[in-house]
Amino acid sequence: MFNLILFGPPGSGKGTQSEKLIARYGLKHLSTGDLLRSEISQQTPLGLEAKKIMDKGQLVPDEVVIGMISSALDGNPDAKGFLFDGFPRTDKQAEALDKLLDLKKTSIAVMLALNVSEEELVKRLVKRGETSGRSDDSNEGVIRARIAEYNSKTAAVAEYYKKFDKVVLVKGEGSVDDIFGGLCGEIDKRID
Ligand code: B4P
């Protein structure tokens, strides 16, 4: 099994690159953002609560996203590997993920961290907000709050994986195809 974390701030290209990576490597894509948006569109109680938090640019509680990932892992027993996109976002989520994978006798092979400047992030998300209909992209204040939340709670997750020597920084600015090439180069060094 090959399990990969695609890491980076909001707007760094995780969703964009994940689609291309799963097509090339046949991994199961687990995006907590997509799972939460699906709950919102179905107007479930979880989705209605999550929307209030996401619209402020804050992180949804750890228990909620850990529960979603745990169910998704159990629901895909035949996956040849998982691509985690937007998860883990806190140390507590990282520790929970390690335990869940341990129970399945597997682990994270590598964390690929996309490196993008804050001004480029804001530019991309403001642009996406013009067409996406996503309320968390709808104004620059919320976008900057998401980046601040990333800096205060999520950036440290890379330190957690650095302890195990699993973090590789990848250039996240430039064309989508060039960035994809950089990510594939790192995966090809590690995958069987
Ligand atoms: P996510 O859905 O994870 O979304 P994101 O971080 O905003 O964006 P992503 O990084 O995937 O965007 P992409 O670059 O693809 O999270 C949304 C919210 O859900 C969070 O704020 C939080 O509230 C909640 N949440 C999710 N997971 C959670 C967790 N584990 N714990 C707690 N809360 C959680 O795309 C950005 C734009 O850039 C696109 O328009 C794209 O076209 C463009 N783009 C991509 N690559 C580009 C390039 N190379 N050049 C130019 N533009 C590019």
Supply the pLDDT for residue 132. Answer: 87
Average pLDDT over residues 94-121: 97
Supply the pLDDT for residue 157. Answer: 97
Supply the pLDDT for residue 192. Answer: 83
Supply the pLDDT for residue 134. Answer: 85
Q: Per residue in 116-130, pLDDT tens?
A: 999 999 999 999 999
Q: Per residue in 27-83, pLDDT tens?
A: 999 999 999 999 999 999 999 999 999 999 999 999 999 999 999 999 999 999 999
Average pLDDT over residues 4-30: 97
- Contact 86 CB / ligand 1 (< 6 Å): yes
Half-sphere exposure of 4 (CA within 13 A, CB side): 26
Summary mean pLDDT of the chain: 96
Buried b (16+ CB within 10 A) or exposed e, 147-177: bebbeebbeebbebbeeeebbbebebeeeee
Q: What are the beta bridge partners of residue 114?
A: 170
Backbone angle region of 100, left / alpha / beta, with phi > 0 → left and psi within -120 to 50 → alpha: alpha
> Biggest alpha carbon distance in the chain?
44
Supply the pLDDT for residue 42. Answer: 97
Supply the pLDDT for residue 110. Answer: 98
Specify the pTM. 0.94
- Contact 60 CB / ligand 1 (< 6 Å): yes
Supply the pLDDT for residue 135. Answer: 85
189 backbone dihedrals φ, ψ, rounded to 5°: -70, -20
Give me the DSSP letters along 76-103: -TT-S-EEEES---SHHHHHHHHHHHHH
Q: Per residue in 141-155, pLDDT tens?
A: 999 999 999 999 999
Query: Is pLDDT at 186 greater than 90 in this prediction?
Result: yes
Supply the pLDDT for residue 93. Answer: 98
93 backbone dihedrals φ, ψ, rounded to 5°: -65, -40
* CB 154, CB 90: distance < 8 Å: yes
* Catalytic positions, written as ranges: 14, 89, 128, 134, 146
Q: What percent of the chain has a predicted confidence (pLDDT) above 90?
A: 95
Give the Å distance between the CA of 27 and the centre of ligand 1: 19
Question: Whole-angstrom Cα distance, residue 183 to residue 71?
Answer: 28
- Contact 179 CB / ligand 1 (< 6 Å): yes
3-190: which CATH topology? Rossmann fold (3.40.50)
Domain boundaries, the chain: 3-190
